[in-house]
Structure 1
Amino acid sequence: MTREADPRAVHWLFGDQLGPHFIDPARGGPHRDAPLLMIESRSVFRRRRFHRAKAHLVLSAMRHRAAELGDRVRYVRADTYRQGLEEAVGDAEVTVHHPTSRAAHAFVHALPSVRVLPARGFLVTHDEFRTWADGRGTKQLRQEDFYRWVRRTHDLLMEGDSPAGGRWNLDHDNRQPPPRGATGLGLPAPYRPRESDIDDEVRADLDRWSRDGDVEFVGDDGPRGFPATRREALAALRRFVEHRLATFGAHEDAVLAGDATMSHSLLSTSLNLGLLDPAECVERAEARWRSGGVPLNSAEGFVRQVAGWREFVWHLYWYFGTDYRTSNALRHHEPLPDWFTDLSPEGTEANCLSRTLEHVRATGWTHHIPRLMILGSFALQRGWEPRAVTDWFHRSFVDGYDWVMVPNVVGMSQYADGGRMTTKPYTSAGAYIDRMSDLCGPCRYKPSVRVGEDACPFTAGYWNFLHRHRERFEHNVRMVRAVRGLDRLRDLDALLEQERDRAD
């Protein structure tokens, strides 16, 4: 039985719990009259060398929310959460919704005066996922199975008991390369917010912290590019659904140098800050399809990202346990080079990698294919330590949180869990990047060349990776054909020697 909320208990809002669904009594939130607390902890920004744009967005969103809540909230700026709690409430009772990181979750559970309420901001509860996962027995947990279950239980894109259009997954229709010769998709630009006086204040504070040597950042802090308020997030959702969703599906995996956002929604920051609820996002996309405004493959592709992958990643973060983040099945231990950690595009002559780093440095964002098939693939091929790669993604991306990056990087990008989350490692030779982007044409390397001065680092790296892990992958049904390709490489010895020289 759920305990009735105490109207006198202060309710604490973390910086990623900023939407109305985190203070809604009808959805298990605090009492409608409960006073609210927000704590801006400086120590959070000392733990990692965060992207400057990420720090700006989080602080701007928190301070904007505090301004909206007015006298109902007490906003405390402290060195640590513990100090903030002591200053604001002493040992009085506090409620808080389930935090999104294991560290924060352990912290609030260790405080005797804090009562933890169920998680918000997701479609599936922890108990529901655990029941689904445990019910699969010894089977591996696969996103596709989970996604179909979510579609059924939440009646998303369904026609009775069957998926709309007769197929659950239209990913096959969503892998088209970019239009030949195009510099962009010619779409209305994504929503971009206008900065306020609060942003000026945040920027001044971050400048001062940097000057004082108190906190160190990486990347640029240009004009804020993502919503910091509920109103802005709703405007971004509306613009995406009405003007950009229709072309999202077909070129979902394509990359263009002159159009970094393509048809992507750019809603991940709003979802992960709690400004949007995933239910309203997928329901609006479905409604747009049912009204005839967008094709099914676009609506399904977006629903799969939000109701399938995002939910799956959130729950695996908790279900797999505390040791999952240290998984290293491939025994990769190489350190990340300074040019990569500094987001320096000058550190590499590979155009795809340089351009991607340049964009991440400027914005703290790029869509999922550059993350997975350029940044992540490069790290995997070179055997970089997966925990360090995870930390890099966490701090370098505006939408990066611990729960987001641990499964995405450890499981999918780096295959460090040995296949608990995916059936194969996601890496490729340069031919894939060449097919799905316009980044290879201007590059000094040639995607078809493995050895020599013109050898593509991704092509050479791919075959070197397969050689290093041949024994592991030669029995993987999704990898066996690629592994057997090693036997057809007449220049394999030269390639391996070249890669050893590069490593040295």
Structure 2
Amino acid sequence: MANRRHGEQCRTCAPGPPSGAVPEALGTRIDEALDGVDPAAPLWCFADQLGPAIHGLAQHTEREVVLVESSRALRRRRYHRQKLHLVLSAMRHLDYELGDRATLHRTATYREALAEVGRPVVVHEPTSWAAARFVADLHEQGLVAAVLPTTTFALPRADFADWAGAASRFTMETFYRAQRRRFDVLMDGDQPVGGTWNLDRSNRERPPKGRRTLGVPEPWWPQEDDIDRRVRSDLDAMDLPTVGGDGPRRFAVTSGEARAALRRFVDHRLEQFGPYEDAVMAGDPTMAHSLLSVPFNLGLLHPLEAVRAAEHAYRDGTASLRSVEGFVRQILGWREYIWHLYWHFGPDYEAHNELGADTPLPDWWTGLDADAVRAACLSHTLSGVHETGWVHHIPRLMILGNHALQRGYHPRQLSEWFATSFVDGFAWVMPPNVIGMSQHADGGRLATKPYAAGGAYLDRMTDHCRECVFDPSVRVGENACPFTAGYWQFVHRHRELLSANHRTGRAVAQMHKLPDLDALLEQEAHRDRF
């Protein structure tokens, strides 16, 4: 039923939309889509459209906001417990903050909620193909009066389509440079600040020797309130099929909290982010990362607001160019690129499996059972996902993704697992990141080579190996590293494909020189413990 008021305490209020977040052309498209629509038609905000870049738009300030908790949607997949908490907490906080302007409907289905509204609603484009088809059906049936362009990313989808359609070939780097020029970020006139577009090579420092943590100030941590306590109680009562542990909320769920987290990162952590962004420390899972992926993906924080804050830190001398450029590249470059490729590649992209990987995900993996594995890197990473639903991008790509690639886990199952087991996982995020980047299942449409690596890489960029029962330098035997041996097994399995790629051909040549290749292949064919 509709629930207009909770009577709970909340510490933050919703700020207005970030200045300049919606380009003039996009505002014009929204106005055109609203032509002839009742100016008081309610605005339906999905659970990842909760920020002022949606409900704070001038076109919506007089509209009632509709929020929906669908029990059927919550039961549809086996989500991480903390992900469900974050989504419900974010919606209920927004309901509280908007006061009488908002109505939170708790129904079994979205259609039941729209029936309670009793009149057509307007909605911004959803963030998945499935949701877009659903909204299109609702539009045809007259339940949705208008479907508007999304406003929670810097570059509108129509503008990317124009840009991509005009290019015979494009890469993330060309897209990133176009983004910098378009939004005038870290630019001196028509040239990049410092004369270089990409400082990635300066941001590959290993974990500091002899230290357990990076030693930077703690990130911003939220304090749970009455709304969080009610969410936890309600989730307990729902008895949903979840994975992972419960725990204190660790991520921002309001626009005010998101801005506080951004300020904390920029003022105290950004300077150390760049050099160590690709390093992993067992005793310091957050290192200098921003922890902003959740509020970004809930639509609470606009990417341009974040990159402007980072650029300001460089301009006023409080953060180095390499750190600021690294952060800007992640947000204005990679994140936006992934968003647009999700739509550009089409709804069938997730079905790609060019490497023929068909191994089902093992139970210890899907159950996040860190105690079931002995490899320190795998165990620590699974433990982090179990405890928080989050690890940063290198454990995702070079530990979890690398292991799955070597062992031939089914890419579509893997993409679904990432989307449900991570608190920042949404339908648009994972297919390009997993199918394309991590598993190379798209045949190279996104990345030019598979991201496979042996134990030497993990020994260099993490501090896991020094406490591991396996030796990253050993291929065969009781203490053979499953990543080192698994890498050569992967190279052998795909030797024809890798030989044809100038970036991986050398690995095939090296494999043929291994004196213990036959023993290694026999060993890995029977390995069932990691």
Q: TM-score, length-normalised on structure 2?
A: 0.92
Q: 1:220 maps to which residue?
A: 245
CA positional deviation for 1:93: 1.9
Amino acid at match of 1:99: P
1:328-407 alignment runs, 5 A limit: 328-407=353-432
Amino acid at match of 1:129: F
CA positional deviation for 1:274: 0.9
Q: 1:13 maps to which residue?
A: 45
CA distance in 2, matches of 1:40, 1:289: 41
CA distance in 2, matches of 1:87, 1:93: 11
1:180-329 alignment runs, 5 A limit: 180-210=209-239, 215-329=240-354
CA distance in 2, matches of 1:489, 1:54: 45
1:87-106 alignment runs, 5 A limit: 87-89=116-118, 92-106=119-133
1:61-210 alignment runs, 5 A limit: 61-89=90-118, 92-111=119-138, 112=140, 113=142, 114=144, 115-137=146-168, 139=169, 141-210=170-239
What CA deviation, in whole Å up to 9, does each residue of 1:328-354 have, x standing for no partner? 000000000000000000121101000
Amino acid at match of 1:45: L
CA positional deviation for 1:25: 3.6
CA positional deviation for 1:34: 1.4
What CA deviation, in whole Å up to 9, does each residue of 1:436-459 have, x standing for no partner? 111001100000111110100000
Amino acid at match of 1:20: P
Answer whether contact 1:411 1:417 (CA < 8 A) is retained: yes
Give SS of 2:466's match.
coil
What CA deviation, in whole Å up to 9, does each residue of 1:23-63 have, x standing for no partner? 2344xx43x21111111111122111100010001100100
Answer whether contact 1:121 1:274 (CA < 8 A) is retained: yes
What CA deviation, in whole Å up to 9, does each residue of 1:294-352 have, x standing for no partner? 00000000000000000000000001011101110000000000000000001211010
CA distance in 2, matches of 1:45, 1:492: 48
CA positional deviation for 1:473: 1.1
Give SS of 2:527's match.
helix
CA positional deviation for 1:8: 2.3
Amino acid at match of 1:193: P
CA distance in 2, matches of 1:463, 1:142: 29
Q: 1:470 maps to which residue?
A: 495
CA positional deviation for 1:163: 0.8
CA positional deviation for 1:503: 5.3
CA positional deviation for 1:221: 1.1
CA distance in 1, matches of 2:489, 2:210: 32
Give SS of 1:388's match.
helix
Give SS of 1:96's match.
strand
CA distance in 2, matches of 1:442, 1:144: 37
Answer whether contact 1:39 1:77 (CA < 8 A) is retained: yes
Give SS of 1:110's match.
helix
CA distance in 2, matches of 1:23, 1:76: 17
Alignment CA distance shift 1:470-1:503 (3 Å)? farther
CA positional deviation for 1:496: 0.5
CA positional deviation for 1:166: 0.9
Give SS of 1:435's match.
helix
Give SS of 1:75's match.
strand
Answer whether contact 1:6 1:34 (CA < 8 A) is retained: no
Amino acid at match of 2:405: L
How many residue pairs get aligned? The number is: 493
CA distance in 1, matches of 2:75, 2:357: 27
Q: Unmatched 5+ residue regions in structure 2?
A: 1-28
CA distance in 2, matches of 1:88, 1:150: 40
Give SS of 2:242's match.
coil
Alignment CA distance shift 1:267-1:216 (3 Å)? same
CA distance in 2, matches of 1:404, 1:94: 27
CA positional deviation for 1:182: 0.9
CA positional deviation for 1:231: 1.2
CA distance in 2, matches of 1:255, 1:475: 32
Counterpart check, 1:419 vs 2:444: yes
Match of 2:79 among 41, 50, 54: 50
Give SS of 1:400's match.
coil
What CA deviation, in whole Å up to 9, does each residue of 1:105-144 have, x standing for no partner? 110111132111101110111111111111112x2x3111
Amino acid at match of 1:194: Q
CA distance in 1, matches of 2:403, 2:528: 13
Q: Unmatched 5+ residue regions in structure 1?
A: none
Alignment CA distance shift 1:339-1:104 (3 Å)? same
Give SS of 1:282's match.
helix
CA distance in 2, matches of 1:125, 1:232: 26
Taking only the aligned residue pairs, the percentage that are identical comes to 56
Amino acid at match of 2:414: V
CA distance in 2, matches of 1:12, 1:98: 11
CA distance in 1, matches of 2:272, 2:528: 42
Give SS of 1:194's match.
coil
Q: 2:5 maps to which residue?
A: none
Deviates more, 1:15-24 or 1:300-309: 15-24
Answer whether contact 1:122 1:277 (CA < 8 A) is retained: yes
Amino acid at match of 2:152: G
Amino acid at match of 1:103: A
Answer whether contact 1:173 1:250 (CA < 8 A) is retained: yes
CA positional deviation for 1:145: 1.0
Give SS of 2:382's match.
helix
Give SS of 2:44's match.
strand
CA distance in 2, matches of 1:157, 1:424: 29
Amino acid at match of 2:157: H
Q: 1:431 maps to which residue?
A: 456
